[in-house]
Amino acid sequence: MTTATTDQAMLCDGILRPGNTNCAGCGMSLGHQWLEQGLEGAKLTLCIPACCGIVAAGAFPTSAYGVPTIACTFASAAAVASGVAAVRQLNHEDDLTVCWTGDGGTYDIGIATLSAAAERNEDLIYICYDNEIYGNTGGQRSSATPQWVKTSTTVEGKAEPKKDIMAIMAAHRIPYAATLSLAHRDDFLRKIRTAQKTRGFRFLLMLSPCPTGWKSEAADSVDLVDTAVRCGLFPLYEVFDGRRYRINARPDGTPLENYISRQRRYRSETLDLDAMKREVDAQWAYLNTVARTFPAREGE
Amino acid sequence: MGREFLEGNEAIARGAMKARCDFFAGYPITPASSILHYMLELVPAIGGTAIQAEDEIASIGFCIGAAMAGRKAMTATSGPGISLYSENIGLAQIGETPLVIVNVQRQGPATGSATKGAEGDIQFTRWVTSGGLPVIALSPATVGEAYELTYRAFNLAEQYRSPVFVLTSKEIGVTRESVDLDAIELPPLVERKRVGDDEEYLPHRFDRPADVPAMSDFGGAHIARYTTSTHDQAAYLTAKPAVIQEMIDHYTAKIDAVADDIALVKRDFQESAETLIISYGITSRSAAVAVREARARGARVSSLVLQTLWPVPQRAILAALDGIRRVIVPEMNMGQYRLEIERLAPTGVAVIGVNKMNTTLISPAEIQRTGGLL
């Protein structure tokens, strides 16, 4: 008779234990580590809907999340998390409830429960690791997929622009919304801490490279996020109470080509680089205007 | 075209195109996603529309809208998606919407094993939505049958103004086989009955309960009405118990009355056999091997393979049971269709289930061992 033994090294503390099944270069792996570092040991419960994040848990004992984790159905992460958060409140516990979801579960199938939880201002942190694709089911487009990008369901390049989820969430007037860059660690950790000390619904959007779907080199992932920030495609900013804005980093003139040339998903006949530049400029004109007109308060 | 090396999901897409499906909507889900991919390629090429929806509620919603506006519509998903389809399947029943719904089954419940096979949605398909009205469901066992039964599903949907399920599984959906689709014999294409532009139109007109009402496309000559609430033949809401019952009797009768006409079964009977294996889906292929091997050892055993699961092909099953003392029902679930066989089997006939639901296929040896054929 053999007895199953547990390698204690596998059960070390940590949100994502070693030996997980994530692809090389997956933004989620680094995101989990920085989330943990930002929270500095705070107790939390994870709610993860159907997405690569569920697969990452792997099969015991090769890997599993080192915190209580509910792997729930695709459409219901924010609802399940609302239930968890409600019990925390009833029990007078200050444990954090954290949704960790992909873009499909955020922008598409999960947006009804996300919107409702935000409208109720549930006391939870909702983090979307946005790899701009259904990475877990064969690389289909989501409404987070940027225009012109080739996916298995947009073989000639996506016709529609990416949905502006930050604007949607800000319109719910939630206490805190921010974008997270895997190339800006201090900014990332500060925003995690801000989210931690804020009460009510907090929404964090993390651009999460997916070398499999983006058709990029795994070693390029962090640099790709850095380039996305520098060329203006992925603005780093925070929104307080849905109305007051703070921009954390501005484009430095890095050409868009530096970002798209290293991802074969952008090699589509339909790619219109000039239109892409105009779109980035328009987004920054808008962001600059609102941030100037409705700035964040000192100390926020 | 000759022989091709196709997976079941592609055969389903090709069967749909053969039936002139010109609307498809689906949402990514393993192991059904490649049907979405194929349809996105094939449907626009004939001037139709294929859409990736934002979730499963939207997928079937798209299809209902398109079907009522005159298109031949199909959607495809797996267990978690069928769960989300549920309310809209009820809408398709109460609104009498021709619609093909493919379920590439995977191990459930819930997310289950996304990449592992199962045939666990058999009774779920029958009772898929509130109200418990009858459904039509076909179950292929091979890539070729996936093509044929998808084509036939469109015919049934149009003929009976009903949602029709094609119940396949991961094993059939994403396994490739050599098949010559052109060599498969198909019945003539059926198109829905439409009311003439100058004729009077009631959305749910019938004289006898089993009549199938003629349709008028939304946006056509008539003021078409469609409602998810209880309604009369004119699709006006009603709270009159007698009218509501009359409509329920109609929805039920139009399927039940034709149950034996739309029964598709494959028979492999042996004279004076007292053992019968009743199977369906991928498991029927193990059953075929079990029968062959048992006969080689001198056993007398018959086989009945069901391609129509719902409504129950009652007459075919009763005929097959003639002279039988033992029925073996192998299923990749905990005994769902066995309930129907137990209901039909005469007193004294033993009904033996061979059941497994651990994502692996049932082997011929398991059928023989549990079924007492060794």
Residue B55 in contact with partner chain A when CB distance is under 8 A: yes
B110–A contact, CB cutoff 8 A: yes
**Closest-approach residue (CA) in chain A for B29:** A137
**Is pLDDT at B44 greater than 60 in this prediction?**
yes
Q: What is the pLDDT of residues A109-147, one digit of tens each?
A: 999 999 999 999 999 999 999 999 999 999 999 999 999
CA distance B90 to B68: 15
Residue spans per domain, chain A = 7-293
Class at the top of the CATH hierarchy for domain B4-183: alpha beta
The answer to whether B55 contacts A54, with C-beta atoms less than 8 Å apart, is no
| pLDDT at residue number A10 | 44
Interchain CB distance below 8 Å, B111 and A54: yes
Q: Does A16 contact chain B (CB < 8 Å)?
A: no
Query: Measured between beta carbons, which residues in chain B are less than 8 angstroms from residue A108?
Result: 54-55
Largest Cα separation within chain A, whole Å, is: 72
| β-pair partners for B326 | B275, B350
pLDDT at residue A11 in the model: 46
CB-CB neighbors (< 8 A) of B45 in chain A = none
Asked if the model's pLDDT at residue B82 lies above 60, the reply is: yes
Do the chains contact at A50 and B80, CB–CB below 8 Å?
yes
Strand ranges across the sheet with A125-130:
A69-71, A44-48, A96-102, A125-130, A202-207, A176-180, A236-240, A244-249
What would the two tokens of residue B353 be?
């289930």
pLDDT score, position A197: 96
Nearest chain A Cα distance for residue B341, angstroms: 34
pLDDT digits (tens, 9 = 90+) for A266-282: 988 889 999 999 999 99
| Mean pLDDT of chain B, nearest integer | 97
Give A50's contacts in chain B (Cβ within 8 Å): 80, 111
E strand or H helix at B241: helix B241-256
* Minimal-distance CA residue of chain A relative to B31: A137
**Helix (H, G, I), strand (E, B), or coil: what is residue B152?**
helix
Q: Where residue B266 falls among pLDDT bands split at 50, 70, 90?
A: very high
CA distance B133 to A271: 50
A54/B37 Cβ within 8 A? no
Tell me whether A140 touches chain B (CB under 8 Å). Answer: yes
Note whether B156 contacts A: Cβ–Cβ < 8 A. no
Pairwise CB contact (< 8 Å): B54 & A152: no
Cis peptide before B109 (omega within 30 of 0): yes
Instruction: Report residue A198 as tokens.
Output: 């804020």
Helix (H, G, I), strand (E, B) or coil at B81: helix
Whether the Cβ atoms of residue A81 and residue A106 lie closer than 8 Å to each other:
no
Say if residue A2's pLDDT is above 60: no
| Tokens standing for residue B171 | 């094993």
- Is this prediction's ipTM beyond 0.85? yes
Cβ-Cβ contacts under 8 Å, A111 against chain B: 54
Q: Is A109 on the interface with B (CB under 8 A)?
A: yes
Candidates A70, A106, A108, A145, partner chain B, best to mutate (most B CBs within 10 A)? A108
Pairing of strands A244-249, A236-240: antiparallel
pLDDT at position A19 is 75
Q: Who among A54, A73, A153 is closest to B52 (CB)? A: A153
Does the distance separating the beta carbons of A109 and B111 come in below 8 Å?
no
Average the pLDDT over A196-213 and give the result: 97
When pLDDT is averaged across residues B331-344 and rounded to a whole number, the result is 98
Listed by start position, the domains of chain B span 4-183, 266-370
In terms of CA atoms, which chain B residue is nearest residue A158? B52
Residue B49 near chain A (CB below 8 Å): no
Whether A109 and B80 lie within 8 Å, measured CB to CB: no
The stretch A174-179 carries a mean pLDDT of 98
pLDDT tens per residue across span B280-308: 999 999 999 999 999 999 999 999 999 99
Check if B4-183 and B266-370 are the same fold. Answer: yes
What would the two tokens of residue B129 be? 């939505």
Q: Answer whether B84 sits within 8 Å of A137, measured CB to CB.
A: no
For residue B39, what is the nearest residue in chain A, using CA coordinates? A153
CATH of the domain spanning B266-370, picked from 3.40.605.10, 3.40.1160.10, 3.40.1010.10, 3.40.50.920? 3.40.50.920
Q: How far apart are CA B301 and CA B267, in angstroms?
A: 12
pLDDT score recorded for residue A12: 52
Q: Determine which of B62, B87, B111, B115 to mutate to test the interface with A (most A C-beta atoms within 10 Å).
A: B111
Residues in B touching A134 (Cβ below 8 Å):
28
pLDDT for the residue numbered A3: 40
Q: Which is nearest to A295 in space by CA: A217, A238, A228?
A: A238
pLDDT of residue B54: 97
User: What does the block give as tokens for B6?
Assistant: 């196709």
pLDDT band at A6 (very low <50, low <70, confident <90, very high): very low
Mutation to test the B interface, candidates A137, A143, A154, A155, most B Cβ within 10 Å = A137
The class (CATH top level) of A7-293 is: alpha beta
